[in-house]
Amino acid sequence: MRALILVGIPGLVIGMGSVSARTVSQEDAMRAAIHPVGDAKTMQAWLSRVPVTREFPDDFTTTLRGHGAAFVIEMTTTPGCVPCGDLWTKLTTLGTRYSWQVRTIGAQEAMIRSGRLGLPWVGHPVAWVRPISDDVRVVPVAIGTDHAPNLARNLYLAAKMLTGVRPAVGVRAMSKFTGIVGLPATQPARR
């Protein structure tokens, strides 16, 4: 009897697993990855769930300071966007520390860039790094706001990618984009 019960348990688990499993649509995945926020408290609640980069390669500071004159950080923004203000503050602080320029770009240019890179447009802010003398070669470094160390890590990797230099061991991938974006603009109701 005991053997029969043990044999029956995997069958029960497998049977239940196939009943409860469901195909996740692209819309479901997008909803899970994008977190529109309208106030600082909600934004901080989402940010508190994001891991912070704690280890950096030996050439981290040298790379960021050494490439400041060659690259520009460009980001989108829109009025009333709380994550945009947060990202702008963090990027300008990093820009000052490492001598990188930080600029804003319009939504139209941002959507074109996203399309060229095959990224869905999810809202503001989005930030890219590009060589100052080349409008076409861009590397996305943020979709939504993030912690400053994660942004610095992504700037480091963008500099390495755009110069064709292999990044130091231990920092081979961008920090995941948080998707903490501003609320979509509402259209005024027609009467």
**Cα within 13 Å of Cα(5), Cβ side:** 2
SS (H, E, C) the chain: CHHHHHHHHHHHHHHHHHHHCCCCCHHHHHHHHCEEECCHHHHHHHHCCCCCCCCCCCCHHHHHHHCCCCEEEEECCCCCCHHHHHHHHHHHHHHHHHCCEEEECCHHHHHHHHHHCCCCCCCCCEEEEEECCCCCCCEEEEECCCCHHHHHHHHHHHHHHHHCCCCCCCCCCCCCCCCEEECCCCCCCCC
User: Residue 160 falls within a domain, yes or no?
Assistant: yes
User: What pTM, to 2 d.p., does this model score?
Assistant: 0.77
Residue 170 has what pLDDT? 44
Residue 85 has what pLDDT? 95
User: Residue 4 falls within a domain, yes or no?
Assistant: no
User: Residue 31 falls within a domain, yes or no?
Assistant: yes
Instruction: Please compute the mean of the pLDDT values over residues 170-185 and round it to a whole number.
Output: 67
User: Residue 11 falls within a domain, yes or no?
Assistant: no
The span from the CA of 181 to the CA of 82, in Å, is 8
Calculate the CA dihedral of residues 57, 171, 159, 143 and round it to 10 degrees.
Answer: -130
Range of the domain at 63: 26-182
Q: How many domains does the chain have?
A: 1
User: Residue 34 falls within a domain, yes or no?
Assistant: yes
pLDDT digits (tens, 9 = 90+) for 125-173: 999 999 999 988 999 899 888 999 999 999 999 999 898 877 654 455 6
pLDDT digits (tens, 9 = 90+) for 84-129: 999 999 999 999 999 999 999 998 898 888 888 887 777 889 999 9
pLDDT digits (tens, 9 = 90+) for 58-86: 899 999 999 989 999 999 999 999 999 99
pLDDT digits (tens, 9 = 90+) for 15-54: 444 445 567 565 655 555 678 888 999 999 989 999 998 8
Residue 13 has what pLDDT? 43
* Nearest CA-CA partner of 50 in 181, 187, 178, 186: 178
User: Residue 80 falls within a domain, yes or no?
Assistant: yes
Confirm if 70 and 161 have CB atoms less than 8 A apart: no
Does residue 2 carry a pLDDT above 60? Answer: no
Residue 179 has what pLDDT? 72
User: Residue 64 falls within a domain, yes or no?
Assistant: yes
Q: What is the CATH number of the domain that holds 60?
A: 3.40.30.10
User: Residue 10 falls within a domain, yes or no?
Assistant: no
What angle (nearest 5°) sits at the alpha carbon of residue 145, between those of residues 140 and 107? 60
> Beta-carbon neighbour count of residue 172 at 10 Å?
10
